[in-house]
């Protein structure tokens, strides 16, 4: 019977947070006037690294909240919280703050986020690709794991971008097209894993799932899927300790390629 290895994408295979940071700064002022920057100072693909250096305190605060987000609209939530100097420490605090924001505005931000992504990718494709690099060693690990697993992606990132990046990294042939699941397959990773169960005609016990968001893994605890927290992703000691309390191993990037269907 097939054994499936499903990867979340951002924070597991791709270190793409700086691209999300760029997009968030560029479009947030359209939805919240308090987040508006003068057009001349908006970061660009060419200038985002220098912009980050000039906004180190904001970048660090932004990073701290990323583990609590999920979909693209959550970058507006994060940006708004940082601008207000809010210290949201738990998922419930984050969710409560998000619930106070207008739902239609968040949905519009979500759509604009992807329009801006595609626009940037079209303007300077090489620089855009460079903001979506695989983690060091991840590409080689995926090739090794393809010999032992059927591979899949379960992500809130859009499949169009995921497929383009996998192709650019020389990995697209290792993933069945129907096994690259994005936000259209459902908002939760439970929905993605249920879809993979059908695609590969296997039990949940034959699926291994790696995510960098501990909240996603906790939501899947009762499925019987083998779960791992990607310790190299957008998380830290707080999330590592929470994962361990629920018997979810914290995986290192160095040990990624060693996973096998026989791991317990």
Q: What is the pLDDT of residues 59-113, one digit of tens each?
A: 999 999 999 998 899 999 999 999 999 999 899 999 999 999 999 999 999 999 9
| Domain residue ranges of the chain, discontinuous segments joined by + | 4-14+134-258, 16-131
Could you tell me the mean pLDDT of each successive run of 10 residues in the chain, 264 residues long?
92 96 96 87 94 96 93 96 93 95 96 96 94 96 97 94 95 96 91 97 97 95 97 93 96 96 76
pTM check: above 0.95: no
Q: What is the pLDDT of residues 100-128, one digit of tens each?
A: 999 999 999 999 999 999 999 999 999 99
| Distance from C-alpha of 232 to C-alpha of 250, rounded to nearest angstrom | 9
pLDDT of residue 264: 57
4-14+134-258 CATH fold: Rossmann fold (3.40.50)
pLDDT of residue 149: 97
pLDDT of residue 1: 61
pLDDT of residue 39: 76
């Amino acid at each position: 019977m097939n054994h499936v290895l499903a990867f979340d994408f951002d924070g597991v295979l791709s270190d793409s947070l700086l691209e999300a940071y760029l997009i968030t700064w560029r479009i947030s002022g359209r939805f919240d006037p308090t987040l508006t920057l003068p057009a001349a100072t908006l970061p660009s693909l060419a200038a985002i690294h220098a912009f980050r250096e000039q906004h180190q305190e904001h970048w660090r605060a932004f990073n701290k909240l990323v583990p609590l987000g999920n979909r693209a609209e959550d970058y507006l939530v994060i940006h708004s919280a940082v601008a207000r100097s809010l210290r949201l420490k738990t998922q419930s605090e984050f969710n409560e703050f998000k619930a106070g924001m207008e739902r239609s505005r968040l949905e519009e931000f979500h759509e604009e986020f992807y329009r801006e992504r595609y626009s940037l990718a079209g303007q300077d494709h090489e620089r855009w690709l460079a903001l979506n690099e695989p983690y060091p060693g991840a590409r080689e690990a995926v090739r090794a794991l393809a010999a032992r697993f059927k591979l899949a992606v379960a992500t809130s990132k859009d499949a169009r971008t995921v497929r383009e990046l996998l192709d650019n990294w020389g990995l697209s042939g290792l993933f069945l097209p129907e096994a690259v699941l994005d936000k259209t397959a459902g908002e939760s990773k439970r929905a993605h894993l249920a879809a993979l169960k059908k695609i590969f005609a296997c039990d949940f016990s034959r699926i291994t799932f790696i995510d960098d968001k501990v909240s996603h893994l906790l939501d899947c605890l009762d499925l019987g899927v083998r779960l791992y927290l990607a310790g190299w992703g957008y998380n830290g000691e707080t999330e590592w300790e929470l994962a361990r309390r629920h018997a979810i191993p914290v995986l290192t990037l160095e040990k990624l390629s060693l996973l096998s269907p026989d791991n317990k």
